[in-house]
């Protein structure tokens, strides 16, 4: 491509924090130029990338002074040198390996050698440097690493490794298919990794001579702040550097991705990317003010640790504001000299002019208003489903009918069906969901024992989702919802303390599943499984917070969190009998393939469940709704865009399998069994995508007649033979609300009861008398018979009357919810 591309106007960039300049900037300019000459970055024909004029125009010391306005003079010198080295390494890599010389193996060797100069153990002998990149890195590492902890060094090295190997992956794909433009979701993930912003965040910690407390570094608020720091800078840079990237023949630019995905004009694509940046900055403000303080309270950080965290957040703000100022200066790295475009931070000065300086444009304000103006429980009507692209197929597990029978019996035993005031389902709702069919489609090759346990796990997941959405999200009950989730986690605590007693169907189901799923697992695997559930419950707490604030999520935050709220990782683990080696599973192609599969399954759910969620649940967590509000478009257009994204994610999955996995097998030198494990994992992901789609399209759960029907049980014996139910059924129902059970696992409870009279004319008194004849164990609790109300008698007493009386007597149980 050439510079004849259409031009566009730079948008009004939103920047809520003022840019400042470090007063030590002039000294840093003198120092870093002298250092660049000494390292061979300047003044040497060997590996020359810049001349002195180009170096001066880019003004890396000015960049460091703008992004670290409070750094001491010596620290500013060090930071300036790091940024010189970072841009030099980036430009050298592009010159040597990207432009007409896509030698992937040679590039990998270059990266591996560079990484060898950053040893986390400072006593490790290093290779002899052979070029300016290596000489400069040795100097920088030994000026930086000794003052930081081992954890910081490991993070810094890992962040640069991720950056380098992401660049290598881009190079590989460019070599295989130069015309291929990836989808927006994939692009954002890759751009975040290749931008170098994570190690810039590490340098922010170094500049403060203070580190984020290790116990909170990977928690959601800190992680989200770092991700936004990366995204806002990198995506805004894509707008500013668009022409430069086009002139250099690069296709890794978000503006180009948006042009291609939306099939739109360049100005519209630029405005879309700018709205993404604005939304990310809104999310930064939200996370900083709403999510961060409770995290610090939760971990009981002292005042000194809190001060470190807040200084870090403030330093990230300074960095983003200073970067915008530096990037938009005419005559710098991106804006040509003589450009008439003023810096976005230029403008009126003085009292009362702050809004004019911080980018509160009509577009930015419109986006902020749309974030909070949703009115829930609107009637949207049935939407026509699009034609979904799905090149994969699945089978049907042969144990389907057995799974339907055993999972329904289990649901009754847990109390998920049939108990007034407790159960959230009746049998019709259970049958409409048909969790056994879901499992039969997504695990078509699973053995009987694995399939039946997975089916119970799926039943529990559906039930938990219904309870959480109905009791807590719909009512915006933050306290109740968090207590509910905290109790679930306490039931599977890895601590050796006493376990809570389960008090409701959700908790009983979890205890049952946890005991059986982890009985043969190692402590490490058990902790991994618990970690997946922790992530799911944390994502549901995230939903609670947004629902209470009536805040429609930021699109990028939603897409990334949706994988967790959907429980995709946990579903994949249910049928994973033999895990891949960790280094293979953690590789970028496998992780990208996994996320693509998760996006497809969750976004399909968003389209199919849209009417149910908007009309019946009033929730805000649906990609169709988020697209409507973010793009200010109608529902038909939003559905089209979400479906296009689903198609793009499927095609990304296909590309990885066809192109990147064979190369991955060679890189890791996988043996036959390891290759089989890898492609079994690929097959399971395909089953997940195709099976979920088939279940969504074929069932009645999301249809209006079903979701508008009240599924709450109206009588105690809510079963096909209401008054003629068995003793086992009655025992299961009573035990699930706290009535002591008899017998042991070796002696089923049902067998310890006398035969109960059945039939349409059986009175409540007859049933109660038969139960009373059964010996009851002594307990400290109030005897069950005394805690029940007097029951009506007579041949014509209906089940509804019995249910009503029992419900009154069991009211004291409900506080446990």
- SS3 letters across 366-428: HHHHHHHCCCCCCCCCCCCCCCCCCCCCCCCCCCHHHHHHHHHHHHHHHCCECCCCCCCECHH
Residue identified by tokens 């303390």 is 497
pLDDT > 90? residue 19: yes
- pLDDT for 797 equals 36
* Average confidence (pLDDT) over 32-42: 94
The DSSP bridge partners found for residue 330 are 335
pLDDT > 90? residue 189: yes
For residue 455, which phi and psi values (nearest 5 degrees)?
A: -65, -45
Residue 765 host element (H or E): helix 764-772
> Are the C-beta atoms of residues 526 and 518 closer than 8 Å to each other?
yes
762 by DSSP, 3-state: which?
coil
Tell me how far apart the alpha carbons of residues 295 and 82 are, in angstroms, rounded to a whole number.
32
- pLDDT for 721 equals 35
Tell me how far apart the alpha carbons of residues 586 and 609 are, in angstroms, rounded to a whole number.
32
Beta-carbon count within 10 A of 353 CB:
11
Q: In terms of pLDDT, which residue wins out, 165 or 437?
A: 437
Q: If DSSP states are collapsed to H, E and C, what string results for 466-519?
A: HHHHHHHHCCCCHHHHHHHHHHHHHHCCCCCCCCCCCCCHHHHHHHHHHHHHCC
Residue identified by tokens 């030994």 is 142
Q: In terms of pLDDT, which residue wins out, 95 or 673?
A: 673
- pLDDT for 525 equals 83
pLDDT band for 798, please (50, 70, 90 cuts): very low
Reference 42, options 140, 160, 144, 135; nearest CA is 135
pLDDT band for 528, please (50, 70, 90 cuts): confident
* Average confidence (pLDDT) over 156-166: 91
Contact residues for 201 (Cβ-Cβ < 8 A; gap 6+): 226, 229, 230, 316
- pLDDT for 104 equals 77
- pLDDT for 49 equals 84
> Are the C-beta atoms of residues 133 and 114 closer than 8 Å to each other?
yes
pLDDT > 70? residue 450: yes
- pLDDT for 23 equals 96
Q: How confident is the model over 63-115, as pLDDT tens digits?
A: 999 999 999 999 999 999 999 999 998 888 877 776 555 677 888 888 899 99
Tell me how far apart the alpha carbons of residues 816 and 410 are, in angstroms, rounded to a whole number.
21
Mean pLDDT, the chain, rounded, equals: 83
Q: How confident is the model over 136-149, as pLDDT tens digits?
A: 999 999 999 999 99
- pLDDT for 494 equals 64
| Long-range contact pairs involving 56-62 (C-beta distance under 8 Å, separation at least 24) | 57/331, 57/332, 57/333, 57/337, 58/87, 58/332, 58/333, 59/29, 59/326, 59/332, 60/32, 60/84, 60/87, 61/25, 61/28, 61/29, 61/31, 61/32, 62/21, 62/25, 62/29, 62/326
Q: Is the pTM here over 0.85, yes or no?
A: no
Tell me how far apart the alpha carbons of residues 386 and 603 are, in angstroms, rounded to a whole number.
12
The two most distant CA atoms of the chain are separated, in Å, by 105
- pLDDT for 755 equals 37
* Average confidence (pLDDT) over 209-220: 93
Instruction: Return the minimum-mean-pLDDT range out of 113-122, 209-218, 729-738.
Output: 729-738
Tell me how far apart the alpha carbons of residues 58 and 246 are, in angstroms, rounded to a whole number.
19
Task: Retrieve residue 58's tokens.
Answer: 């880019």
CA 170 to chain centre: 23
pLDDT > 70? residue 36: yes
pLDDT > 70? residue 563: yes
For residue 338, which phi and psi values (nearest 5 degrees)?
A: 85, 0
pLDDT band for 339, please (50, 70, 90 cuts): low
- pLDDT for 48 equals 76
pLDDT > 60? residue 782: no
Q: How confident is the model over 577-616, as pLDDT tens digits?
A: 667 888 899 899 999 999 999 999 999 999 999 999 999 9
- pLDDT for 101 equals 55
Task: Retrieve residue 453's tokens.
Answer: 């346990």
Q: Is the dihedral of CA 749, 751, 754, 758 positive or negative?
A: positive
- pLDDT for 704 equals 92
The DSSP bridge partners found for residue 335 are 330
335 by DSSP, 3-state: which?
strand
Tell me how far apart the alpha carbons of residues 293 and 308 are, in angstroms, rounded to a whole number.
13
* Average confidence (pLDDT) over 632-643: 97
Tell me how far apart the alpha carbons of residues 426 and 409 are, in angstroms, rounded to a whole number.
13
- pLDDT for 355 equals 40
Reference 129, options 41, 29, 14; nearest CA is 41
Q: In terms of pLDDT, which residue wins out, 805 or 131?
A: 131
> Are the C-beta atoms of residues 805 and 792 closer than 8 Å to each other?
yes
- pLDDT for 794 equals 36
Q: How confident is the model over 225-260, as pLDDT tens digits?
A: 999 999 999 999 999 989 888 877 777 799 999 999
In percent, the amount of the chain with pLDDT more than 70 equals 80
> Are the C-beta atoms of residues 238 and 253 closer than 8 Å to each other?
yes
pLDDT > 90? residue 1: no
> Are the C-beta atoms of residues 659 and 176 closer than 8 Å to each other?
yes
């Amino acid at each position: 491509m050439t510079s004849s591309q259409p031009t566009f106007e730079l948008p009004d960039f939103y920047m809520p924090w003022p840019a400042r300049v470090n007063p030590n900037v002039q000294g840093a300019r003198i120092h870093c130029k002298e250092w660049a000459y000494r390292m061979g970055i300047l003044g040497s024909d060997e590996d020359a990338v810049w001349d002195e004029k180009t170096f001066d125009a880019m003004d890396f010391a000015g960049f460091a002074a703008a992004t670290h306005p409070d750094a001491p003079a010596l620290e500013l010198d060090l930071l300036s040198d790091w940024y010189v080295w970072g841009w030099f390494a980036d430009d050298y890599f592009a010159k040597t390996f990207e432009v007409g010389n896509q030698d992937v193996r040679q590039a990998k060797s270059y990266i591996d050698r560079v990484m060898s100069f950053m040893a986390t153990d400072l006593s490790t002998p290093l290779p002899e440097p052979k070029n300016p990149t290596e000489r400069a890195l040795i100097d920088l590492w030994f000026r930086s690493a000794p003052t930081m902890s081992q954890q910081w060094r490991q993070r810094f090295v890992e962040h640069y490794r991720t950056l380098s190997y992401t660049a290598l992956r881009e190079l590989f794909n460019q070599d295989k298919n130069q015309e291929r433009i990836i989808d927006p979701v994939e692009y954002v993930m890759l751009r975040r990794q290749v931008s170098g912003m994570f190690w810039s965040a590490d340098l922010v910690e170094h500049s403060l001579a203070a580190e984020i407390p290790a116990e909170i570094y990977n928690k959601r608020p800190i992680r989200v702040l770092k991700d936004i720091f990366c995204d806002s800078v990198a995506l805004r840079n894509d707008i500013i550097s668009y022409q430069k990237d086009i002139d250099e023949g690069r296709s890794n630019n978000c503006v180009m991705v948006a042009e291609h995905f939306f099939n739109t004009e360049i100005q519209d694509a630029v405005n879309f990317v700018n709205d993404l940046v604005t939304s990310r900055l809104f999310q930064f403000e939200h996370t900083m003010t709403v999510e961060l303080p409770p995290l610090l309270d939760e971990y009981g950080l002292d005042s000194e640790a809190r001060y470190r965290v807040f200084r870090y957040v403030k330093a990230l703000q300074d960095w983003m504001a200073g970067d915008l100022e530096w990037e938009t200066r005419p005559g710098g790295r991106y804006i040509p000299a003589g450009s008439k475009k003023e810096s976005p931070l230029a403008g009126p000065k003085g009292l009362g002019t702050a809004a004019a300086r911080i980018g509160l444009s009509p577009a930015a304000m419109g986006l902020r208003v749309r974030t909070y103006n949703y009115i829930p429980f609107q009637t949207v009507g049935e939407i026509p489903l699009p034609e979904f692209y799905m090149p994969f197929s699945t089978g049907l597990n042969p144990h389907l009918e057995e799974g339907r029978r055993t999972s329904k019996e289990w649901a009754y035993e847990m109390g998920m069906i049939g108990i007034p005031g407790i159960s959230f389902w009746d049998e019709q709702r259970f049958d409409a969901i048909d969790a056994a069919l879901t499992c039969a489609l997504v695990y078509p090759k699973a053995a009987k024992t694995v399939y039946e346990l997975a089916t119970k796990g799926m039943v529990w997941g559906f039930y938990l989702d219904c309870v959480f959405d109905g009791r807590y999200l719909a009512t915006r009950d933050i306290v109740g919802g968090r207590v509910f989730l905290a109790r679930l986690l306490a039931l599977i605590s890895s601590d050796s303390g006493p376990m809570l007693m389960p008090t409701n169907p959700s908790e009983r189901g979890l205890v049952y599943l946890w005991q059986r799923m982890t009985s043969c697992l190692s402590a490490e695997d058990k902790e991994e499984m618990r970690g997946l559930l922790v992530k799911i419950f944390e994502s549901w707490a995230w939903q609670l917070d947004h629902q209470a604030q009536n805040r429609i999520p930021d699109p990028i935050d939603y897409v990334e969190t949706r994988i967790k709220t959907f429980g995709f990782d946990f579903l994949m683990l249910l049928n994973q009998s033999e895990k891949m080696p960790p280094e293979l599973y953690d590789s970028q192609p496998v992780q990208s393939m996994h996320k693509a599969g998760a996006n497809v399954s969750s976004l399909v759910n968003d389209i199919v469940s849209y009417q149910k969620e908007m009309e019946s649940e009033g929730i805000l967590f649906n990609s169709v709704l988020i697209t409507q509000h973010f793009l200010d478009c109608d529902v038909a257009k939003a559905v089209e865009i979400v479906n296009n994204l689903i198609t793009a994610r499927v095609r990304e999955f296909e590309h990885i399998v066809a192109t990147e996995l064979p190369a991955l097998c060679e890189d890791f030198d996988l043996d036959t069994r390891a290759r089989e494990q890898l492609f079994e994992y690929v097959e399971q992901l395909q089953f997940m995508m195709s099976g979920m789609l088939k279940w969504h399209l074929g069932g009645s759960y999301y249809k209006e007649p079903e979701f508008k029907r009240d599924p709450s049980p109206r009588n105690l014996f809510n079963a096909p033979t209401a008054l003629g139910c068995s003793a086992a059924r009655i025992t299961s129902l009573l035990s699930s609300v706290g009535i002591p059970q008899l017998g042991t696992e070796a002696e089923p409870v049902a067998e310890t009861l006398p035969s109960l009279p059945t039939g349409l004319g059986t009175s409540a008194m007859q049933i109660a008398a038969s139960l009373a004849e059964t010996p009851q164990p002594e307990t400290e609790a109030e005897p069950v018979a005394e805690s029940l109300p007097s029951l009506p008698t007579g041949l014509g007493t209906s089940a509804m009357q019995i249910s009503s009386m029992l419900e009154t007597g069991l009211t004291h149980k409900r506080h446990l919810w």
